[in-house]
Amino acid sequence: MELNLISTLFYFLLAILLLVTVHEYGHFIVARWCGVKVLRFSIGFGTVLASWHDKHGTEYALSLIPLGGYVKMLDESVDKVPKKDRHLAFNNQSLGVRTAIVVAGPLFNFIFAFVALWLVSVIGIKSLAPIIDSVRPLSMASRAGLAAKQEIIAVDDKKIASWHDFQYAIMPYLGTNQSVSMMLQSLANHQKKTIQLPLTDLKLDDKKPDLLESIGIVPFIPSIPPIIGEVVEHSPAFLAKIHAGDVILFADKTPIHDWLDLVDYVKVRPNQPVQLVFSRQGIEHSVSVHVASQMEQGHAMGFLGIRSQKPDWPADWLRLQRETPVRAIGVAFNQVAQLTGTTFLLMGRLISGQLPLHSLSGPVGIAKGAGASGRNGLTYYLSFLALVSISLGVLNILPIPLLDGGHLFYYLLELIRRRPLSETQQYIGHCLGLVFLGALMIIALSNDLFRLS
């Protein structure tokens, strides 16, 4: 199995395990605090692979299908409950207690996101400055007045320190006809100017939804010397006895001036031999390497199993975002609030048709994001986990039967009617919710498969 695929699966499963555990632990611990008996805490669905019990009689289970989990509580609507245990049953709790237990799952997702983003702020994250290398002719960016060798320093008065910040600042405007205000600074004379970028014609590519490319911005990526920093064990390069520190000079007589030259050359030659000429301690060597193959976007791509040496870029090209532990509290809180609001906005636009359904991603899209962020380092992975945790929290509080929000909607009706819905009414709601969620999953998976094709 290819190394990238293995790492993607690892980071995806780790993300699912963490986020599902956090969500279900919220339900579990609040149920315990409220005196409700918990029968099972399961990570995953289906066949139980492993389980154990605690002193309270709760079963902790790891189940076959890892895409979710559940907390099973004592409940008279599900099982026959002995008279002596009725006070421990979920259905016999007050409306306030039941609401608290249901809310706790999504709430813990938001708390997890806050902790993750706080850690990112304290550890610090170093990113390339959002410098424009070029602007595509006749693009939105070109018509708005963006030009090469400008740095984006603010969007709608929000400070921008990286391309990551820029994309997050633009996200709330997806699916609208609004314009965003951008402050730019020239690298030549440091003069600042503000322009308006209309998003009326913004359309993301169905297969590769790249925001910068859709706007018409080509980001500045500094040159990376073709010096090998790491060779993966048992990879094609390892078998060819290529070492860290070797400088690649030629690939099949094609000069290699930059690391991306080598990447581009190898990617289009899966399962083919490539003659590499490299320099080691000033002495040139030549070796034939059989390029391996891995799947990307549904196509076979070549790879050698090497990583570049960490480049020593000038400080002007980099931005370090780091806060003190105290200041990071406010930063993390604002980020959670902003991302939560943006997620609600985008979901609303999906439902209203302002955003097309093909912008949805399913498990494959999440797995790719997990793999890419995990390989980039801890802070990037924590940021990814925070975003997915917020999305999970928002999704779960939507008033859809079967989700936590569906239960909360039932409780709201119970409060208004002063009596709960009948079992038949709840059953009908659950069926409708199942159909809706099934359709949503089919659309998301179809989008994933379409992007792989």
Catalytic residue list: 24
334-342: list long-range contacts, CB under 8 Å, 24+ apart: 335/117, 335/386, 336/110, 336/113, 336/114, 336/117, 336/386, 336/390, 338/168, 339/113, 339/168, 339/386, 339/387, 339/390, 340/110, 340/390, 340/393, 340/394, 341/172, 342/168, 342/171, 342/172
Count of residues making up the chain: 453
Burial class (CB in 10 A: 0-12, 13-18, 19+), 432: middle
Q: Distance (Å, rounded) from C-alpha 400 to C-alpha 396?
A: 8
Q: Give yes or no for a contact between 70 and 45, defined as CB atoms under 8 angstroms apart.
A: yes
Sign of CA dihedral 244, 12, 374, 172: positive
What tokens appear for 220 in the block? 């500045």
Q: Distance (Å, rounded) from C-alpha 296 to C-alpha 3?
A: 12
Gyration radius (Cα) of the chain, Å: 26
Q: Give yes or no for a contact between 174 and 214, defined as CB atoms under 8 angstroms apart.
A: no
Burial class (CB in 10 A: 0-12, 13-18, 19+), 212: middle
13-16: list long-range contacts, CB under 8 Å, 24+ apart: 13/66, 14/370, 14/374, 15/366, 15/370, 15/384, 15/385, 15/388, 16/66, 16/67
